[in-house]
Structures are given as structure tokens and as C-alpha cells.
Chains A and B, each alone.
Chain A
Amino acid sequence: MARNKEVLLLLLDVGPSMHSVLPEVEKVCSMLVQKKMIYNKYDEVGIVLFGTQDTDNELTTEVGGYQHVVVLRNTKVVDGDIVEALQQLPRGTNGGDFLDAVIVAMDMLIKKFGDTNKGKKRICLITNAQSPIKDPYEGSKEEQVTTIAKQMTAHGMKMESIIVRGKLSQDENKEIMDENDRLLNIFSKETSTRLLYVEDPISLFGALKTRNITPVTVFRGDLEFSPKLRIKVMVYKKTQEEKFPTLKKYSDKAPQSDKFATHEVKIDYEYKSSDDPDIVIPPDQRIKGYRYGPQIVPISTAEWEAVKFKPEKGVKLLGFTDSSNVLRHQYMKEAYVFIADTGNAKAGLAVSALARAMKEMNKVAILRCVWRNGQGSVVIGVLTPNVSDRENIPDSFFFNVLPFAEDVREFQFPSFTNYPASCQPNRQQLESAANFIKMLDLAPDGEKEVLLPDFTPNPVLARFYHYLDLKSKHPDAAVPPLDYTLRKITEPETDLVLQNQSVIDSFRRSFELQGNPLKKPKRSLREKINNEEGKENITAPPANLIEYTSIKVEKIGDSTPVQDFEAMISRRDSPDWVLKAINDMKNKIFDMVEDSHEGDNYTKAVECLVALRKGCILEQEPNQFNNFLKHLCNFCKEKNLQSFCEYLATKRVTLIPKTEAIDSDATDEEARSFLVKSESKSD
């Protein structure tokens, strides 16, 4: 695997003006080396410091000069020593001359590797480029830099530079900085590498790629417009999640004395007959099955191969469309980038022409892609232009996968205008919201954008590697708190908040969240039921059953008998509540009917009766209700209260028939005619 071995020299400015950001430099560089120890353990790393008090490098001994440049570690295969050295960089006392350091670094690489390792030798410069570089013995600084850069390219070296500026550096001598910037730009151009300016600690942390991944093409071939026009392209992943490392399961079963123990845990899967759990089914007796409704359809791999969808490899254009026809939230996956094939200059022109025309016209292209032979699916996606404003970086396209009809769930949501007036913001509130948005601006004019994804590191990974190193020294160390710099990714920037406290306060005041429970715009029982799952009930629950259950009703009162009954019957802390609720309700109804004067209680009694009926159906106790209703009617007849029975009949309260509750003894006919009959009898 040493084939892709990289040699990296870190050129770090430790001069006084850099002191404030050195902790960040230490963190990011040590993480870089740590990751190399895990993922690229044959890579070599060396450290050159400049702006130091001391001087220690071979060139100074050989030819003199090159003051304040210290070779802290010559290049060597990554190890814990380098990590440690990077974790405690010395603080320098002089303004650093980055060009001296670059020459020292180049000399080291040439001496050690000569012309070998072409393209795998990298110099990474981190500085604020605030100190002037010395005038050369002959020619201009520009000429000198150009010569050096050409030398670098000739030896197959690359140099990337991360320049710390803005809030992170006291803006000193603008003239010197401008000159240095010009010189650095020459390096970037000549060696075709990155030149980055960072203005906040997070970006400094994120600017340095800590893991080198050689990209692999997803597809290399024709972008087909028609059978007669094909453009040679290469497709790569543009984004790809760097996953949290997969850790192995640890077994401590091996004896302590066993030095060669792997401590690994193997996982074994066995497939057992569902009839007899003792029978293990061997792999050749297993067959795949797919669910289709309640059925499981068995189908062997060979059969499946024969019938499955087999599209032909290729990337085809379906057409162009207005960019507004594709919405940003419809992107489905990680993004790709389409680049013209390097071997084909004309393809580069074609891509450039199309990208530029698409950008001008605000159009996107829709493609159908089958990346490789044997792929069992097609991808529909949108191609958007990525026009480069740098002359040495080619124009290209980004590509994002779009959903198929099957992938979209067209849920309907109420319009905001359907909500009552209390939900609609007034003018003052809108104004305060607009101010709030303008104030919490992460990309203010003329300043670098904050939290730019390209420069924002994954705090979880950074924390993991930090902890890993800590544990290698102190196995029992606790998880360290999240780094102060990284915390700015997860929380609002305190400075920004403090500067604008008044706007925030006014925003908060405008939207004091005391309000009333939301009145839903549309009545829907289903939603009400669904909402009961909600775990955190921060606001008051809606006035339905939950409220009553939480109070734990123990008896049915006079004021709200129906609600009391519903609450009681749905108590689940004991099965006895159901019967108690039914019996209490029965008594209550009896009381009401009996105490009624000229039917003044009838309405209430019927309400209770309806509730009782519903409860009995829900709890599958239909006969409790039926017997009661019969009993009640008889009772009324005896007590000369037929008026109640008549009233009942008009309200269509019937017995519970079998169709409504399976345990009922009453047929539909019986149920319907029950009151009619008792009426007619009373005639």
C-alpha cells in the first residue's frame, strides 16, 4: 500500500503575530498526523518552523543565511513523536520570512528524495504573511519566487498555502501583505495548488484537508446528447460523508499473558427453521424472499438475475429546463462533479461552452445515468453549471440525484393563512423578524462567510481523534469537553449575539411564547389520536382525554359527568376502572332521570347515556349497556316516566347491536326496534 505514500512538510509560522492562532494550528496539524497514522500509516511528515528565536537548518550551516528557520523534525514515517511535537509548538520571537522556509523545505525534499515520489511531495505553509521577505541578491522578488516555483514543479512538489487574515491578524502593514499575497499567488499558479485565506479559527481548522483520499471515477465515458454528439467526461463524487471510524467489538476473554491476542469478536449468523429452532439451515438450502403484501415471494438469485431490470451503461441527456423547475430541497444524495476528460481538450471546450451558456440562461440539464455495467437501476438527476473564474481551473458541472415519483410523499399541509389571527404576525413582529435575520448575518458584505461548509470541520471526528490520542496516554481519561473553537459550530457565536443584544431582545419580546394552545385549522380526529404519541409535552396538552387521565378521576361528579366518565373508563392503571366507571355512570343516569322535573334533566341524561354507550362499545362491554337500557326503560315505565323513553326514541339511542360490538346479544333489528317497541307497548 506504500504505493500512494505521501511526503508532507508542514511549514509553520510561529512568529509573535501568529501566537494567538497557534493553538488552532497545533490542533489541526496534530489531527492530520493522527489520521495519517490510522489511514496512511506509511506517509512521511516533517516540520519546519519559521519566525523562531533559534536557527537550525542544513542550509544555514552550508551556505549561511536562513535565519530563524528551525527544522523541528526531518521527514519520517508518521508516529506519536510527531503528534507530540505538533501539540506543543514553541512560540517564536521574530517575524517569519516564509520564502526562506520554503527554500529550506525544498532543499530538504530534494536532498532526501531527489526526483522520486513525483507528485507525492507536498509542502503546506501556514502563515499570516505579515512580515516582509528579504530582497534577493539579484532580480526582483517576483522573479525569485517564479524560479523557486518552477523548480518545485520540476521536482514534482506541490505547495498549498493557508493564510491567516482578517480578525485573526492585527491588520498591520498593508503594503507588505499585498506584496506577499502577490508572491504567494505565483506559487499557487505555478504549482497549481490551493491558496486559502481564512479569517476565523474554525476555518483555519477546516481549511487543511486532514485526510487525503484519491478520488475514484464513478463513471468515465460519454455524456450523450444524441447518437451523433457525445462529450467525453469523467464523473467523481463531490461530496462523500467521512464516516465516524468503525470500531471493533472488544473481547477480554484472552488470558492477559497472551501477547498475540487479537481481542476481536466474531459475529456468526445462523439461520434456523422457524418450526424447529434446533435445525440450522445451511446456506445452499436458503432462498431469498421478497415481501409483497402479506405474501413472501421466494426467488433465487439466478432467477432474479434473469428477470431483473438491466439498463445499459451510459449517461444520456434528456433535455434542458429552467432552473426554477428543480427545487433545491429535491436533491437526494451526495453531489457529483462532471469534468471533461483530461485526455480530450475539445471536450473541455464543449463543457465550458455548455456550462457558461446554461449559467447565462439560468438553465439546468436533466440526465439519465447508469454509471456502470450490471447496475440494476437508473438515476435521474440535474446538472448545474460550475463556472470557474480562475484560468487554471476548468469549468465543470455539479450533478445531483432527483427523486422518482415513488420517492415523493405528497402530504398536504394547511396554508398559513388558514390559521386564526392570533397566529398571524403583525407589522411590528415582521419588522422585528426581518431585523433579526439581517443582524444574525453569517455572510456580511465584504467579509468572509462564516461557517462555510468547505472550511468547517466535523467536530465529532475532531473530538474522537483528540480523545483517541488522550486515551493512548491515559487509558482511563474521560471524554474531554468539546473544543472551544469547535463549539462555535454547534452554538451561536457569542460575539455576534452580544453585539446585537438589543435586536435579539426586541425579537424575543415580540414573540413571547405564552399564547394559547393552537386551534387547529381543520378538525380531524385522526390527528388528535396521532398526536398523543408526542413524548415531550412542553405545552399544555389539548383539552381532550389526556388532560383528564392525568388528573386521575376517581368518581363521576355532577358538573362534568361525561368527561369524568371518559377519563375514568380510559384509566389503565387498573382493569377495575372500566367496570367502576360503567356502574357509576349507570347510577348517575338513574339519579338524573329520577330527579328530573318535567324532563329538565333529560338532555343531560341522554348525553350521559350516549357517552356510556360509546364507552361500552370501545371497551367491548355491549351487554352492560343493553341490559342497563332495558332496565332503565322498565324502570321508567314503572315510575311513570315514559316521557324519558319517548325522548330517548327521538334521540335515536338504540341498543348496541352485534354489528357494533361483537359480544352483543342483540341483532340490528332488535336494536333498532327496541325503543319503538317499548313506545308502542306504553301506548
Chain B
Amino acid sequence: MRMDIEDDPEFDIFRDEDEDPDAEFERENDSNKEYVVYLVDASPKMFNTSCLSDNQQPESHFQIALSCISLTLKAQIINKSHDQVSICFFNTREKKNLQDLNGVYAFHLPQGDYLDRPTARLIKDFDNLQESFSKNIGSQHGVLPGSRENPLYNAIWVAQALLRKGSAKTVNKRILLFTNQDDPFGCLKGAFKSDMTRTTLQRAKDAQDLGITIELLPLSSPDEMFDLSKFYVDLIGLEGDELVNFMASTGNRLEDMKDQLRKRMFTKRRVKKFKFTIVDGLSIELNSYALIRPTVPGSITWLDSITNRPLKSERTFICADTGALVEESTRRFHPYKNQNIIFSVKELSEIKRVATGHLHLLGFKPLSCLRDYYNMKPSTFLYPSDEGTDGSMCTFIALHKSMIQLNRFAVAFSGSSSRPQLVALIAQDEVIQSGGQIEPPGMHMIYLPYSDDIRLVEERYSDTSGVPKASADQIKKASDLIKRLDLKDFSVFQFTNPALQRHYAVLEALALEEDEIPEIKDETLPDEEGLARPGVVRVLEEFKTSIYGENYDEESEHGTGKPTEASKKRKAHTEFAKKECESYDWGELADTGKLKDLTMVELKYYLTGHNLPVSGKKEAIVSRILTHMGK
């Protein structure tokens, strides 16, 4: 019997990605590289100001900045390893940069460039940097009265010089500036101060004119809010309302601040831009974004095990009848009625073209119609394109508002070339929590199944004599249980994927040639301590008794269900194979090389008899038998 592997895609997390053009598109977009310079203020103030973290450990602003950068680097090495990064400190005692400017220290690996792709070594060294910081780099007050030094100016200049490489058309260039000093020239006076301010702003503007974005990641403490208006508002060019919003999102609590920093460090990458036809003659431009997609370990590259050099794979097409090499054929066939029906590739794609346009509105339904099993793959987020008009934006906002108010979702047909299908569009209101955006405003596109994709499982287990339904008392006991086992602050993203964490921990250890692989904490395991609390144990027991009565243990042992027909057959088959297996002299057959003369059925007697996998070609099976026999 063939195993239905298709049935369970997570059977192997290292499976190849489906050939989804959307995903491809995304990857293409991802090749859109990013060069980032992290500019970290290293003035004494960064070290002196601290926040209390959740476990009441004080953490300095400098530490926060470093740990955020470290997290980002780790994400970059996994997802966007073609990005290039540089980490520069300013207001430092030592100096190290191409221009030899004072007060700026560019951190890099001896063998690497100042701006380079992140490597395992870089992350490792960077993580260790904090300890040696005061010795090797040192913190120092930046701008001082009477001194002409301007480390901030120098820092932007250094960053700009680092970002010189690559064309601004193909590479996103960004400077991320971490500081808690809202008024860098505060200690200066008069013309001197205005001169410094002016030159620094000009420096920043020059950088921006070259296509470099400067983003500010202000760190503030509860007793001293970061005041943008003192200086930075001009540097990053915010106006009016934006200013209010910008500050609102620089949180107070340490965790919030970290959260915000993390969010800001990533650039938005859209998947696609398309037209949403609402009615004939009225359509709006939308961008789609993949906000949720399974992160899988990177693809496998085959290497030569001797040289460890990557191999080039070559694909050839061979005619099965003549053995001749052929070009990739543009014709396909499908057997039907004892003949081969031939299709051209063009005809096949024509079949799939069932709709004109990309997304076509069909109507609306109440949200309660969207059942929990109407789901096929991760949703896609839609937001109006900024290339549209204000009219287009206005239409979107009006529909969005009304849909939320009326509790409805839209049904639309998405005519993508890979799988044209019905989709549900759910309007999502913006959710802001402790100053940060938790859910962005827009619409989520949910891919709906067709009747062909839905399986009637519950119906299969219907029973004419009625099925067990719980009594009111049993439901009450279940409610008590649910109340006790409540996860109050559950958030969907709170767990990291242990398989992935392990994967990268192994890779990191191997890349750094370390002997020990660090243990990864599996956060997904249930809270055993919590479950052992007396209150919890009591409700569990009460529920158990209400359902199973006193003899639960008996029930669970005997009640494993009657063996199904299939399992009976399988058992019989195994026993038969075992018996048959004994009638061969396997050792003899192996020694004389006669194994290959046996039929597959005969060979499988051995495999089944010894509980070995029976899959594979004859060659593989013979070698499996030989291995098992130790020959």
C-alpha cells in the first residue's frame, strides 16, 4: 500500500517548497538587497540610563540596542543573507573608520569588509563585544563645549561612505540610528551650536539625497522622554501628525521598546501589486504582503564531500522509448480511455485561465458564514497601493469601515495563474497596544476550499443509533476545567519554532566549528507545574469522573478500539511474510550473490519479516538486506 505522503506535508520539514509562483515572486523580491549601517550612540548616557526588564534586572540603553541588533542580525543571516551590514559606534574613545574621523568606531571582522554579509562569526563576536567594549572601544562624551569635534556628523559621514557601494536603484540603503540623547548639541551655545546643528542636518540631507534612508530608534526612559523636537525631527524629516504618531509608538516599557525597535528594523516587502475590481468600471490598486508565512530551513545545496565545494546540478530529458536526449517537451499527456490524450503547455495554461483580472468582488456574507475549516494556506494581507489615487484610498477605507460595522466579509475570485480560487476578504481594524501597532489596518485574504477539497469526515462517523452527546452536568464540569486551564495572555506568536531553533543552533555551531551544540529550550511543551497544581488536578478529576465514572483506567486500557479491517489484514500479512521468510537460506543467497535473482515479493518477505522498510527499487532493497545481515 502506498503511503499518502501528500496527506501530511509536515512529515518532513525539509521538504521542497511547492511550486507556488507567489512564493517565487516573493523570493525574487527578497533578492532586492538591503545595506544597513547600525549607528549606535556610545556616549556615557547610553550606559548610565537603564530600564528594568521583566525579571527586574536593570538593562542599559546600550545593552538594549546591542541585543536588538543581535536579534536582527540573526534574522538576517537566516532570511536575507545577501543583505550587507555594518555596525558603527559613535561617541567613542578610539576611532576606526576609513576616513579616520574622530569618535567613530566601525566594528568589523579582521578578515571582513566594513560593510559585509553577516556571518556566524560576526554575530558571535558581536555578542561578545559588550565585555570588551570599554577596553577596546571606550565610551566618551561626544560634543563638548569648546571642541570642534562632532561625532554625530562624523558618524553619518562614515555611514554614508560605507553605503556608497551598490546602486541606489537596486539596493535599499538604510542607516538605523540608536540614541537616547535627544539634544546632541545641547551643551553648546549660540552660533557654535547653530553651526553644528546646521552642518549635521546638511550631512544627513546629503545622505538622504543619495537615496539613503535614515531611521531613528530613540531610547527613552520613564523619567525622561525622548524629545524629538529638540533636534531629530529635522534630521528624519517628520511633520505634524507623523510626529505625534512616531512618538506614540516609542514605548515606555522595556519589552514594548524592544518590540518596537524590532518591528522598525525590518523593511516591508510587498509580494504583488494588482487591481481589485469592485464593480464594472470601478477598481482599486492594492498591494499584497505576506505577513504570515511558514519559515522553513534554507534549501539544501549539494556539495562534493571531498572538497566541500558546491555542485552544479544538471537536468537532462531522455525519451523513455528510444533513450535519445530530448529538449524539454512542450507537450504533456494524460492516459484516458486507453489512449494518451496530448495537451500542449499552452492549452493547459488556457484551462487554468478562468477569470479575467486579478481579483473580482462577488459579494458579501456575514462573518459567521466563514467556518473554521475554510482554510487552505496562510492568508495574504492587502493594503491600498500608494501608487493609486486618493479616490482609490477613499473607496478602500469606506468599504473597510462598512464591512467592520456590518460584520461582513467579502467573497471575491482570485484569478492567479497557479490556482484560481475563491477568497474571503476580512476587514481588519488597526489594533494598537501600548503604543505599538499589533494589527495593521487592511484586509486579510483567506483562501477558500472548493467542494472538491473538503472531506466529509464527521459524516463518516455518523451512527444511525445515535451518537454520544454530553449531559448538562458534564458540560458544566468541562466549563470548570476550561476556566481553570485558561491562558490569559495567549498570543499567537509567543512560541518560537523548536525545530527551526535547533536547526540553526546546529548550523551555527558547525559554522563556528564548535564542539558543543547548545541546548534549545522547547517553549511549546505544556506547563507541567501548572497542571500539577491542586486546583487544576481537582477539576481534571471531576471532569474525568463525570465522563468516565470510577473506572477510567480500565476504559483507557481496553478501550483502544477494535482493530480495523486494515490493521487485521496488515497483521496477517506480516505473519505470513515471517513464515515465508524462514523458508529461504538468506545467508547462502547473499554469499552467492543470488539475492538479485529473487523476485521483489520474495525479497520483501525478508524485509517485512525483519521489520525493515519495504520501499525503494530492487537495488536499494538488496543492499538494505545485505546491510541488515552485516555483509
Chain A partners chain B? yes
Q: Which of B267, B463, B507 contacts A290 (CB 8 A)?
A: B507
Are A353 and B474 within 8 A (Cβ)? Answer: yes
Q: Is the CB of B493 within 8 A of A434?
A: no
Nearest B residue to A35 by beta-carbon distance? Answer: B452
Whether A552 sits at the interface, judged by CB under 8 Å, is no
Question: A249: nearest residue on chain B (CB-CB)?
Answer: B329
Is A238 a contact of B7 with CB atoms below 8 Å? Answer: no
A489 close to chain B: CB less than 8 A? yes
Which chain B residue shows the least CB distance to A272?
A: B312
CB of B550 within 8 A of chain A? Answer: no
Q: Decide if B146 is an interface residue (CB 8 Å cutoff).
A: no
> Chain B CB within 10 Å — which of A271, A290, A320, A504 has the most?
A290
Specify which chain A residues have a CB less than 8 angstroms from the CB of B398 in the assembled complex: 425, 429-430, 432-433, 510-511
Interchain CB contact (< 8 A) of B468 among A153, A190, A349, A517: A349
B129 to chain A, nearest CB (A): 18
B470, A353: Cβ atoms closer than 8 Å: yes
Docked Cα-Cα span, A521 to B474, in Å, equals: 56
Q: Chain A residues near B561 (CB, 8 Å)?
A: 232, 341-344
Q: Which residues of chain A are near B500, meaning CB under 8 Å?
A: 404, 406
Check B497 against A407 for contact (C-beta < 8 Å).
yes
A590 interfacial by beta-carbon distance below 8 Å: no
Q: Are A479 and B482 in contact (CB under 8 A)?
A: no
For chain A residues 295-335, which have a beta carbon within 8 Å of chain B? Answer: 295-300, 304, 307-309, 311, 316-321, 325-335
Give per-residue flags for B491-516: 1 if the beta carbon is below 8 A from chain A beta carbons, else 0: 11111111111111011101100000
Instruction: Please report which residues of chain A, range 465-521, place their CB below 8 angstroms from some CB of chain B when the two chains form the complex.
Output: 467-469, 471-472, 475, 479, 482, 486-487, 489-493, 496-497, 504, 507-508, 510-521
When A225-B540, A526-B267 are in contact, do A286 and B304 touch as well, CB less than 8 Å? yes
A215 to B458, CA, bound (A): 11
For residue B264, CB closer than 8 A to chain A, the reply is yes
Which residues of A are found within 8 Å of B384, using beta-carbon distances? 518
Q: Give the chain A neighbours of B422 by CB distance below 8 A.
A: 451, 453, 456, 489
**Residue ID in chain B nearest A319 by CB atoms:** B487
CA distance A254 to B400 in the complex (A): 60
Within 8 Å by CB of B485, from A264, A319, A434, A493, lies A319
The interface stretch among B137-145, B178-186, B348-356, B599-607 is B348-356
Q: Check A559 for interface membership: any CB of B closer than 8 A.
A: no
**B452, A461: Cβ atoms closer than 8 Å:** yes
B539 vs chain A, min Cβ distance (A): 10
9 additional A-B pairs beyond A425-B395, A490-B413, beta carbons within 8 Å, are A240-B455, A253-B322, A289-B301, A318-B526, A332-B294, A341-B560, A405-B493, A514-B389, A660-B164
Chain A residues closer than 8 Å to B332, beta-carbon distance: 247-250
Cβ-defined contact, A339 with B458, below 8 A: yes
Once A and B bind, how many residue pairs between them come within 8 Å at the CB atom? 778
Asked whether, in the complex, the Cβ of B365 is within 8 Å of the Cβ of A410, the reply is no
Residues of chain A with a CB closer than 8 A to B160's CB: 660
Find residues 637-683 in chain A having any chain B CB closer than 8 Å to their own CB. 652, 659-662, 668
Interface centre among A309, A388, A449, A542 (most CB of B within 10 A): A309
A-facing mask of B375-413, CB < 8 A → 1, else 0?
111110101111111111111011111110110101101
Pairs A–B under 8 Å by Cβ, sample size 22: A37-B337, A216-B7, A251-B322, A262-B320, A264-B321, A265-B326, A268-B317, A272-B312, A290-B301, A292-B77, A293-B511, A318-B524, A342-B561, A349-B468, A361-B479, A388-B467, A398-B372, A408-B292, A451-B422, A453-B422, A454-B451, A519-B390
B119 touches A409 (CB 8 A): no
Residues of A with C-beta under 8 A to B492:
325-327, 330, 402-403, 408
Interface centre among B81, B373, B439, B548 (most CB of A within 10 A): B373
Output the least CB separation between A260 and chain B (Å).
9
**Cβ contacts B316-331/A at 8 Å (1 or 0 each):** 1111111010101101
A548 to B371, CA, bound (A): 51
Q: Does A583 touch B at the CB level, under 8 Å?
A: no
Given contacts A264-B320, A404-B495, contact A192 B310 (CB under 8 A): no
Query: Which A residues lie within 8 Å of B247 (CB)?
Result: none
Contacting residues of chain B (347-371) with chain A, CB-CB under 8 angstroms:
347-348, 350-352, 354-355, 360-366, 369-371
Q: Which of A124-132, A176-184, A531-539 faces chain B?
A: A531-539
Query: Is B174 an interface position by the 8 A CB rule?
Result: yes
CA distance A464 to B420 in the complex (A): 13
Closest 9 CB pairs of A and B: A343-B561, A515-B391, A329-B444, A353-B470, A247-B332, A515-B389, A357-B478, A425-B398, A348-B468
Q: How far is the CB of A378 from chain B (nearest CB, A)?
A: 5
Least CB distance from B414 to A in Å reads: 10
Residues in B with CB closer than 8 Å to A511 are 282, 391, 394-395, 398
Decide: B464 and A407 in contact? CB cutoff 8 A: no
User: B448 near A: Cβ within 8 Å?
Assistant: yes
CB–CB A395/B469 < 8 A: yes
Distance in Å: Cβ of B127 to nearest Cβ of chain A: 15
B303 nearest CB neighbor, chain A only: A289
* Bound complex: CA A456 to CA B450 (Å): 5
Residue among A371, A454, A493 making CB contact with B362, cutoff 8 Å: A493
Restricting to A393-422, which residues have a CB under 8 Å from any CB of B?
A: 393-396, 398, 400, 402-413, 415-416, 418-420, 422
Cross-chain contact B497 with A525 (CB below 8 angstroms): no
Contact call A508/B279, Cβ cutoff below 8 A: yes
A248 to B478, CA, bound (A): 53
Residues of A within 8 A of B23 (CB): none
**A206 contacts chain B at the CB level, 8 A cutoff:** yes
Chain B 586-615, CB-CB to A under 8 Å as 1, else 0, gives 000000000000000000000000000000
Q: Which residues of A contact B493 (CB under 8 A)?
A: 403-405, 407-408
For the complex, give the distance between the alpha carbons of A286 and B173 in Å. Answer: 39
Cβ-based interface call for B222 (8 A): no
Contact residues in A for B392 (Cβ distance below 8 Å): 513, 515, 518, 539
Q: How far is the CA of A403 from the CA of B471 in the complex (A)?
A: 35
The smallest C-beta distance from A435 to any residue of chain B, in angstroms, reads 9
Report yes or no: A492 in contact with B294, Cβ–Cβ below 8 A: no
Q: Beyond A268-B316, A460-B351, A460-B354, is A400–B446 a contact (Cβ under 8 Å)?
A: no
Bound together, the chains give a CA A479 to CA B341 distance in angstroms of 13
State whether the Cβ of A237 lies closer than 8 Å to any Cβ in chain B. Answer: yes
- When C-beta atoms are compared, the residue in chain B nearest to A331 turns out to be B375
Q: Contact check: which of A193, A287, A393, A512 meets B391 at CB < 8 Å?
A: A512
State the CA gap A577–B27 with chains docked (Å).
34
With A249-B332, A271-B311 as known contacts, state yes or no: A411 contacts B266, CB within 8 Å. yes
Would A275 and B369 count as touching, CB distance under 8 A? no
B105 contacts A by Cβ under 8 Å: no
Instruction: Pick the contact of A457: B452, B465, B496 (CB < 8 A).
Output: B452
Contact of A550 with B by CB under 8 A: no
- Which residues between 282 and 323 of chain B lie within 8 Å of chain A, taking CB atoms? 282-285, 289-295, 297-322
A335 / chain B contacts, CB cutoff of 8 Å: 372-375
Q: Could you tell me if A386 and B450 are in contact, using CB atoms closer than 8 angstroms?
A: no
User: A291's contact among B273, B299, B496, by CB below 8 Å, is which?
Assistant: B299
Q: Give chain A residues whose Cβ lies under 8 Å from the Cβ of B405.
A: 434
Q: Does A197 contact B (CB under 8 A)?
A: no
The interface residues of chain A lying within 8 Å CB-to-CB of B395 are 425, 433, 511, 513
B629 lies within 8 A of chain A by Cβ: no
Bound-state Cα–Cα, A229 to B374, Å:
31
Does any Cβ of B come within 8 Å of A392's Cβ? Answer: yes
> Which of the listed residues B478, B483, B486 has the most CB atoms from chain A within 10 Å of its own CB?
B478
Tell me, yes or no, whether A375 is within 8 Å of chain B by CB: yes
Specify the chain A residue showing the minimal Cβ separation from B284.
A513
Tell me which residues across on chain A come within 8 A of B307, comparing CB atoms: 273, 275
B15 vs chain A, min Cβ distance (A): 11
* Beta-carbon nearest neighbor of B291 in chain A: A409
Interface check A72, CB cutoff 8 A: no
Q: Does B67 contact A (CB under 8 A)?
A: no
- Whole-angstrom CA separation of A461 from B210 in the bound complex: 52
CB-defined contacts of A360 to chain B, threshold 8 Å:
475, 479
- Counting CB contacts under 8 A, is A263 at the interface? yes
A172 contacts B by Cβ under 8 Å: no
